[in-house]
Structure 1
């Protein structure tokens, strides 16, 4: 971190600060804007939101003077403002990748279709793309990563999100030569598969969250999506469909997450899962085949072995994203990316009985939730990734509550960028 701080201060002194466009000024985007204004050498130069007042407020809430902000949907006006060292806000997301001087684009929207389009625009315009949008990454991340490599830019998830925090533990353990057996994240509460925007509305207001976002947390879809991103970055798979989701404290994790023949619950190692009772942390279980290392780990109070836990008890979401922006722009390095291809999918399950002719909705809605599955199984069974589902999706036949949704049961909007990218991904990657 000290080298990052020194390099950024140097950039600031040279008047060459990293200029960033942030799309989405909700809780995550607003937090990132505020945090970046406290970091020398990095500027939230352009903030974009469909409701432009929210974009403006994100900068004002960080202490930026209104006189230093221009509000415009004109690329020419925005470029002029950025050249003069001013801040800009807009409601047109396509300006993020086109604006002069912008080095990195951050997607903080959480909308799959927006993530697909924004990533494509950024890659085409030779901008690094930082995805807080795991909803899009879990569906088309591998093909976007491939295209970004070919274009010579960085496609990356973010530090602070649970997949990024897990990846830090994973890189640390693998880099030291340990054998990683299990990776995973904590979850705050038991999954309620019936959660919807109405049932969580009051809690969402208290937490300053959109009801759809909170519903996606509570019905488990967000957890499944995050685990999918972890799988595609490491090659690890869910041990069972949807994960085990056990309740445990840190001390008991190695007793639970071991093979059945060893007294645990696992069918295999190299798996991804989630645990109730250790949120907001992330964890990793590792081992070694060297007796001397076992002795040293026991001496270091890591437990009796043969398996050991690394645990990070926090993740600061978008407040850590500046670390990823720096790594992408200065070191050309991703925090977490789907380097292993399509390993897992978050597939779609009916939240209630669905009738032929009706329309579905989106993640965190009333009609569907997501469950993690190995990609090869999902492909064989024709299961639909939940990120492809939206309000334009038409039900073609009756579907029972709890039934996995297959492509022949629905009619998708094939005009969407995310649908086209997914088809391209299937052709080029699998």
Structure 2
């Protein structure tokens, strides 16, 4: 029976899956636009730092006021309505919630919410890739110990990439490389919230007339968001990050099997089984032919001449040898697709991708020469960008993860393009997010047989 059929069956029995959403921003609002159209799915609670903003978002995506007029989670569950609040702890603890969706984008909040979900036995859909990249490997272990599902968010690119990887491996193909497309030029690493709109080509009038957050948009442009998402993919799919960060080669969909194959076979990969992001722009700024800016891909290898012939017979685009081929999905619809993750947990007890081993980490890199005493402003800001590196390298450097590079003053000056280290910043070791991340470093350092760090 399909997930949709199972959801309809739940609806007919009057036992819909009861969902609590934390974060009514773009992703959350897109999910809410579809949530009431899905039988057997009941958004019982919506939590946001601004309940008024959440209500405005719900109206904007088509909700009539009577749908979110409930005065409690219990009333919402009983009346098929939704309760809007700013109390995430209460939402997670509510007995009227089965699945929690974290769509906040805050690493510290994400860690707090997942640990609370473990305590209250609530399944988690983790839209919050920032938290997953920072601490997902240990959060996933805690979730497994608590007997809950910890899932990637369908519609977001990491979950869609994981789906392609799983498809290829399930039919006996070795995945050579997997990733996504984006708009990239090397100069973007220096972009700040002051320069971001020029790179996007948005006019002042467009920005003034829309819901645009310059720091968030800049995190997509300066490479940080790509690094976070590919860390999530590496950790979920047992794939390796490039040794010195993503290279963003210009590449269209027809050239994926040619560009993203090993160096020894004429491609750009140092090894098979990697993650990489392809750019929709040539290095001189010209658009790539048939780019994959909004999509995801997986490159795989024919294990035998027979399978190579099958690739050709059924029209797969391959490299010249016919050995390497690719599949791709040209678009992702973020929150509009999130119901798939909820349905998968509710009807199959399965995640739509989940974090496993800790293979890749996103470290903070100085965007410019930074002075002692300057305060770091996190992803998409003026001071740092995120770079994906192998976990062993991050631990050896004692590097500060990008997810914690916000609000911390520098002890020392740091030159441009150098990683920020834990020893470079002043931090509160008692803060939950810091303590949990440091615990994860110690756990995995021990499992990798690396020397334990002397914590500053």
- Does the alignment reach a TM-score above 0.5? yes
| 8 Å contact kept, 2:7–2:347 | no
Contact 2:296/2:331, CA 8 A, preserved across alignment: yes
1:244 matched to 2:216? The reply is: no
* Shift of residue 230, structure 1, vs aligned partner: 0.5
2: CA distance, partners of 1:42 / 1:62: 17
Q: CA deviation at 1:399?
A: 0.8
Deviates most, 198-207 or 380-389: 198-207
> Which residue of structure 1 lines up, in the alignment, with residue 364 of structure 2?
348
Match of 1:390 in 2: 406
State the match for 2:2 in structure 1.
3
Is residue 113–residue 416 contact of structure 1 (8 Å, CA) maintained in 2?
no
- RMSD value, Cα: 1.7
Q: Post-superposition shift, 1:206? A: 5.6
**In the alignment, does 2:176 pair up with 1:173?**
no
TM-score when normalising by structure 1: 0.94
Unaligned runs of 5+ in 1: none
Alignment of 1:7-22 (within 5 A): 7-22=6-21
The residue matched to 2:2 in structure 1 has which SS?
helix
SS of residue matched to 1:360: strand
Distance in 2 (alpha carbons) for counterparts of 1:275 and 1:65: 42
Question: 1:285 maps to what in 2?
Answer: 299
Q: In the alignment, is the contact (CA less than 8 A) between 2:42 and 2:80 conserved in 1?
A: no
Deviation track 1:5-50 (CA, whole Å, cap 9, x = no partner) reads 1111111121111111111111111111111111111122211111
Superimposed CA distance per residue, residues 95-125 of structure 1 (whole angstroms, 9 cap, x where no aligned partner) = 2201222111111111111111111111111
Measured in 1, the distance between the counterparts of 2:52 and 2:127 equals: 21
1:217 is aligned, of 200, 205, 220, to: 220
Rounded Cα–Cα distance in structure 1 between residues aligned with 2:18 and 2:77:
9
Q: TM-score, normalised by structure 2?
A: 0.89
- Please state how far the C-alpha of 1:253 moved relative to its aligned partner: 1.9
Q: d(CA) in 2 for partners of 1:237 and 1:288? A: 20
Task: Give the structure 2 partner of residue 263 of structure 1.
Answer: 266
- Aligned partner (choices 288, 305, 310) of residue 322 of structure 2: 305
Q: Deviations over 1:63-91 (max 9, x none)?
A: 4332342376xxxx333333333210011
Shift of 1:424: 2.1
- Residues 230 and 375 (structure 1 numbering): CA distance in 2 closer, same or farther, change over 3 Å? same
Q: Quick check: 1:204–1:214 contact (8 Å CA) kept in 2?
A: no
SS in 2 for 1:284: strand
Aligned to 1:84: 79
* Cα drift, residue 204 of structure 1: 5.3
CA positional deviation for 1:205: 5.0
Distance 1:333 1:422, change over 3 A: same
Aligned to 1:162: 157
Counting matched residue pairs gives 423
